Amino acid sequence: MSSILAQFGISLSTLSITPSAEAYYRVIEALFFLLIIYLALTRAYLPWKVREAIPANTAASKLASWRPAPLATPLPPSVRAQQPLDINILSVDGANITLDASHLSTDSPTTTALNFATNDFLGLHAKRSIREAARIAMRDYGCGACGPRGFYGTTDLHLQCEHRVATFCDSSSAILYSFGAATANSTIPAFCKRGDIVVVDDSINFVLYSGVRLSRANMLTFEHNNMNSLEAVLKSVCEKHVDKAAVQRRFIVVEAIYANSGDLSPLDEIARLKDQYRFRLLLDESYSIGVLGHSGRGALQHFDVPRKRVEIATADLGNAIASVGGICVGNAEVVEHQRLSGAGYCFSASQPPFLAAAATAAMDVVENEGESLISRLRSRVKLFRDMVDVGQLKKAGWYLDGHPVSPIIFARRYDDNANPRIFTDLQERCLEDGILVARPVYSTDELKLPKHAVKITISAVHSDEMIRKAAQVLMHNLLDVGA
Amino acid sequence: MAEKTLPHSAYAELPYLTALTTYLGYAVLIVFGHLRDSCGKLFNAGSYALRQAGQLDGRAPLLNDFEDFYTRRLYQRINDCWGRPIRGTAGAWINVLERVKETAWCPTSRLDRRPYLPTDAVVKRATHGAPLPSDPTGRVTTCLNLGSYNYLGYAEVPGGVHSSVTDALQHAGVAACDVAVSTGRSAIVRKLENTVAHFLGKEQAIVVGMGFATNSQIIPAIVGKGDLIISDALNHASIVVGARASGAKIRVFEHNSADSLESTILDAIAVGQPQSGLPWNRIMIVVEGMYSMEGQTCNLRAIVAVKNKYGAYLYLDEAHSIGALGPTGRGVAEHHGVDTRDIDIMMGTFTKSFGAVGGYIASDSALIDRIRALSPASLYASAMSPPCAQHINWAFEQLMGKDGTDVGKSKIHQLRENAIYFRKRLNTMGVQTLGDWDSPVIPIMLYNPAKIAAFSRECYSRGLAVVVAGFPATPLLLSRARICLSAAHTRADLDWALSVIDEVADITQIKYDRSFATRLLPLSVAKFITGNQRSEECLSNFEGHEYCKGRHCLMRTHSM
């Protein structure tokens, strides 16, 4: 010990203390002091400033031999095979959609088909009163708002829409995002930080999943719609992090109707579990607003769960509400925090005022005519499901995904290795028979990659005839392709 | 004082004394904030009581301490400077709705024909005499708008939006109600994509319904694991989100410095990927065409030279520069005389110059195909609203002179003229500005935190709507006001705005470029010495202003 100290010109005698316990502390203090000086004088270790540390010829040869990969390689055949038809939509009018038919085997340049593809569940897309509200807003407010909400991009139409959303959802406040696909993935990182826990259903959609990833919180998954699995995860979190309960934010993230499958989540059960284990709930209602509940208020109405038990709810306005934008509903703390911390809110231009006006008008329509629209939608979905012979499809290797109340229905193969091309073929065949269905494509970055599918969307504007025709066409083609 | 040379760093001109007072300002705010919090904790009162109540159920607090403290004790003191609601278009003049918190110092407002009282709750609060600070009073103030990104004036189209836009609304509806890729794209959006590609001289383009999502959801489809993103230090949040989501490694280079960029690339290639040391798959440089908080264009020529030297790829975000820069509005590449073939990926938005919403990426066919097939922005996002797309189509036609008029051309010319004139006058005034001499975005440095609110409120009470920004949008010391000029501003508008800014700059003492001694003198003495008669000039300018004729005059009740 004394020899080490001597190296630095310090000897025990200069400390003028007898070598007792106290002296050792002094020595340790001195060593720490020297260590601080040493660290202060040495160059910081910066992995990106180490070029000088690498022999010059190595660096030079690395530079000379570096060949960048091309910016874009052609799409791999597996991806190309699952591309949907590149349809040129000329106009949409309720259940009828007019397409450019130049690539189809018809003589006329355009063709019309029945629209079973867009997510216009209540038929609000063609609603006169909504278009009129949008037109008036456009006349008075122009097209875009030309700035973020903070910088004179807030119009009274946005505020009205936020108030409307709040009353519609029976909440104290709401916040309006300008784009549905940038809503949940801004909300989640605004509240969940590194070290927090987010428990997600393993079938959540990509927008939610990307939000969880961006938040850098610890993500735990539970089996899709399996409450035992959820409870086990919640329990393990509470037991494992018992000391962190006061600081660790814990969230459950689920969708009311799953975008990738049309399944309904058992919200009452989830709400019970999250209260029992002191979690918070983030519910995505993109596909359930205007669909669930006897008057279309969403999953909370369907399950009769009070609003205050769902801390945060998000939704895309691009489906039943037939506008473009996103909303987040919660108490004042949740909403006001996002006005400073929601990346997609602060750093983006505000929603065009006419889209906010259209969303407000759409919610007025749901409020006034909700019950009749919903019962109409329900009966259409039921009719479609009744028309499809599930047993026959099963024999041909097909099944339909989704809960009986879901207006989005996915036709999928039991067989995991089905050729992706057949789904696009199916889309094309249905179109030739006058029915437009969607062919969803999924990113390979999904949490759980959904199987290939064609998606049929039922809307309240469809007549019984149309539903029957669509079901027949679909059945016929599914059996034909599957054979 | 004409063409001021650009300071390399915004810190360069920060006076030492001001830096000191700025730190002091924040210190006072923080100390008093903590004092108030301690009292709140002790007596369980004020906003603290609310917070305590939220935590009684055994869950961790929803907000973390610093964010919460910052919001309550710093931001909320001056939050009236942001989010001021407007009614009508965001054109050269805007109608700002008065809120309860502004009534005290907003003497120029008038009652609107259509009072805005959105909910029963607000009405109830108003009648019971207990309104919230953010509740509207039903009065409006007409202000000159120096805040919106309305570079070419397309926010307010004379006579209302073009008839083709309302036609699109009638034919295609408010929105498409679906994700573009799974059902197909509408003809209007296809046309827009072709126009953008043609306008920029690129093979193909893809259009997304939101500018933020264009960056945040398409960058992950371009680069990924094994790639390196080299990003400018001042890049926009959307780029940061996109880069993070991509899985590529991210290195940051000094703002706008080609030397720093070059050394970052050299380091990266020499060291290779972390841990494995393998060579990088690709290196992508991400820069913005114009930095909206700096008013500065990117050093494009030098950056392109570096990129070509090392075989990196360049991603250029032209959110603020497309339409606003270049003799024909083709953005920063045209402004700096760089061939667009040297820029691999060109991104931009339609929010600013085009007065709509959304963004685009223009590049080679192979890349756009990939983005279409793989990016979340194309797989999961709603398609662009058809009337928006048509509005942009129409604006493009006007810009390119395809409508047979030279309206588009004169707009571009007017914007540049306005920008140069305004900045020259500001510089002679003695306030400190940032950015290029011909940039339509002009930040005025405020520095002290108290001046953020003071500048905004003083301008607002005189009928001038400006944007102010402080930490965390800017570095702690560099709070600023930001002027965004528009082709829609007339010379008379600008002169009047300058006279207001001059007066407010005296009150808030932000003429940092003036000699120190005159800044210390009381305002009246300084005016006496310089023989300044600005106030009278200001008033006469305004009353002679054509906008004022037949309208409520803003300045009437304001005592000079």
| Inter-chain touch B357–A352, beta carbons under 8 Å | yes
> Chain A within 8 Å of B522 (Cβ-Cβ)?
no
Q: How far, in Å, are A31, B120, B147, B410 from residue A11 at the CA level? A: 13, 82, 69, 83
A141 in the same domain as A51: no
Does A349 lie in the same domain as A390? no
Instruction: Please report, as a single letter, which amino acid is at residue B54.
Output: G
B159 touching A (Cβ < 8 Å):
no
CA angle B261, B266, B267 (to 5 degrees): 100
Residues A401 and A383 in one domain: yes
Please report the sign of the dihedral spanned by the C-alpha atoms of residue B280, residue B281, residue B285, residue B286.
Answer: negative
* A72: alpha, beta or left? (left if phi > 0; alpha if psi -120 to 50): beta
Domain final position from B353, B375, B400 = B400
Chain A residue whose CA is closest to B68: A337
Looking at the complex, report in whole angstroms how far the Cα of residue B197 sits from the nearest Cα belonging to chain A: 17
Provide the pLDDT for residue B544. Answer: 39
ipTM value: 0.87
Whether B69 and chain A come into contact, CB under 8 Å, resolves to no
Last residue within a domain, chosen from B346, B380, B400: B400
Q: Are residues A376 and A340 in the same domain?
A: no
Residue B532 lies in a domain: no
Strand partners, A254: A283
Please tell me which of the candidates B279, B282, B351 has its beta carbon nearest to residue A71: B282
Q: A147 and A2, same structural domain?
A: no
Q: What is the CATH number of the domain that holds A105?
A: 3.90.1150.10
> Coil, strand, or helix at residue A218?
strand
Question: What's the gap in Å between the CA of A309 and the closest CA on chain B?
Answer: 12
Q: What is the pLDDT of residue B106?
A: 63
d(CA B87, CA A321): 24
Task: Write out pLDDT tens, residues B487-500.
Answer: 999 999 999 999 99
The domain total for chain B is 3
A195/B contact by beta carbon, under 8 A: no
DSSP string, A282-333: EEE-TTTTTTSSTTS--HHHHHT--GGGSSEEEEETTSTT-SS-EEEEE-HH
> pLDDT per residue over A66-98, tens digit each?
888 998 888 888 888 888 888 888 888 878 888
Strand B479-484 to B441-447 pairing: antiparallel
| One domain, residues B421 and B493 | yes
- How far CA A160 is from CA of A140, A155, B119, in Å, comes to 15, 9, 8
Contact B351 A179 (CB under 8 A): no
Q: How far does A211 lie from chain B, in Å, by closest CA?
A: 9
Instruction: Determine, yes or no, domain membership for A69.
Output: no
Same domain for B463 and B368, yes or no, is: no
Same domain, A246 and A313: yes
Radius of gyration of chain B (CA): 25
Say yes or no: B84 contacts chain A, CB-CB below 8 A: yes
A384 within some domain? yes
How big is the A-B interface in CB pairs under 8 Å? 384
pLDDT at B543: 39
Sequential DSSP letters for A325-369: -EEEEE-HHHHHHHHHH-HHHHTSBPPPHHHHHHHHHHHHHHHHH
B137 is a domain residue: no
- A68 falls within a domain: no
Q: Are A256 and A163 in a shared domain?
A: yes
CA distance to partner chain A, nearest, from residue B471 (Å): 12
Q: Do B380 and B430 sit in the same domain of this protein?
A: no
Nearest partner of B529 among B518, B538, B520, judged by Cα: B518
Q: What is the pLDDT of residue A365?
A: 94
Domain boundary among B373, B400, B427: B400
In a domain, A17, yes or no: yes
Question: Rounded to 5 degrees, what are φ and ψ at B100?
Answer: -55, -40
CB contact under 8 A, B84 and A354: no
A390 and A342, same structural domain?
no
> DSSP letters along A127-164, please?
-HHHHHHHHHHHHHH-S---SBIIIII-BHHHHHHHHH
Judge: B83–A149 Cβ closer than 8 Å, yes or no: yes
The two tokens of residue A425 are 């073929």
List strands edge to edge, sheet with A454-457: A398-401, A408-413, A454-457
- State whether residue A98 sits within 8 Å of chain B by CB: no
Flag whether B57 is in a domain. Answer: yes
Calculate how close chain A gets to B413, using CA atoms only, in Å.
20
Strand partners for B141: B96
Note whether B496 contacts A: Cβ–Cβ < 8 A: no
The pLDDT value recorded for residue A376 is 93
Q: Is residue B92 part of a domain?
A: no
CB-based contact B513:B474 (threshold 8 Å): no
The helix/strand/coil state of A43 is coil
**Residue B15: its pLDDT value, please?**
81
Helix/strand/coil for B471? coil
Range of the domain at A23: 1-62
CA B243 to CA B249: how far, in whole Å? 8
Q: Give yes or no: residues B411 and B477 share one domain.
A: yes
Phi, psi of A114, deg, nearest 5: -80, 135
CA distance B234 to B100: 36
CA distance to partner chain B, nearest, from residue A324 (Å) = 6
Instruction: Assess contact for A355 and A134: CB atoms under 8 A.
Output: yes
pTM of the predicted protein model: 0.87
Q: Is residue A70 part of a domain?
A: no
Element spanning A34, H or E: helix A21-41
Same domain, B349 and B431: no
Residues of A within 8 A of B209 (CB-CB) are: 179, 324
Q: Are residues A195 and A309 in the same domain?
A: yes
Closest CB from A91, A138, A319 relative to B172: A91
Task: Characterize the bridge pairing of strands B228-232 and B249-253.
Answer: parallel
Single-letter code of the amino acid located at B183:
T
Is any Cβ of chain B less than 8 angstroms from the Cβ of A318?
yes
**What is residue B547's predicted lDDT score, i.e. its pLDDT?**
36
Contact yes or no for A201/A255 (Cβ under 8 A): yes
Domain range for B23: 12-75
Residues A363, A387, single domain; the answer is no
B299 and B448 inside one domain: no
The verdict on A452 touching B (C-beta cutoff 8 Å) is no
The pair of structure tokens assigned to B270 is 């020499």
Across the interface, whether the CB atoms of B467 and A352 are under 8 A apart is answered no
Residue B183 and residue B42 share a domain: no
CATH code at position B285: 3.40.640.10
Q: Is residue B447 part of a domain?
A: yes
Domain count, chain A: 3
The C-alpha of A268 sits at a distance from chain B's nearest C-alpha, in angstroms, of 19
Cβ contact (<8 Å) for A141 and B89? Answer: yes
A94 touches chain B (CB under 8 A): no
Q: What share of chain B is helix, strand, coil (3-state, %, to 5)?
A: 45, 15, 40
Please enumerate in sequence order all residues whose Cβ is within 8 A of that of B328, keeping only pairs 6 or more positions apart, or say none: B334, B399, B400, B409, B412
Give chain A's residues under pLDDT 50: 1-2, 5, 9-17
- Both A290 and A148 in a single domain? yes
| B270 plus B369 within the same structural domain | yes
Chain B interface includes A40 (CB < 8 A): no
Domain at A266, CATH number? 3.40.640.10
* Residues of chain B predicted below pLDDT 70: 1-10, 45-56, 104-120, 180-182, 514-560
Let me know: does B270 contact B298? Beta carbons within 8 Å: no
- Compute the distance between CA of residue A235 and CA of residue B351 in angstroms, rounded to an integer: 47
Q: Which A residues 133-162 touch B at CB under 8 Å? A: 134-135, 138-147, 149-156, 158-160
Instruction: Say if residue B194 is in the same domain as residue B238.
Output: yes
Residue of B nearest to A80 (CA): B373
Same structural domain, B389 and B464: no
Determine the residue type at A85.
L
Q: Choose the final residue of a domain: A31, A62, A93.
A: A62
Assigned domain for A202 exists: yes
Residues B203 and B317 grouped into a single domain: yes
B263 and B412 both lie in a single domain: no
A 69-88 → B contacts, CB under 8 A: 69, 71-75, 79-80, 83-88
Q: Are residues A136 and A281 in the same domain?
A: yes
Q: Is B376 domain-assigned?
A: yes
Which residue in chain B has the smallest CA separation from A427? Answer: B183
SS3 B23: helix
- Chain centroid to CA A404: 23
Q: Where are the alpha helices (DSSP H) in B223-299?
A: 237-246, 258-271
pLDDT confidence of residue A5: 47
Within a domain: B97: no
Contacts B270 to A, Cβ<8 Å: 50-51, 54, 58-59, 62-63
Closest chain A C-alpha to B326 CA, distance in angstroms: 20
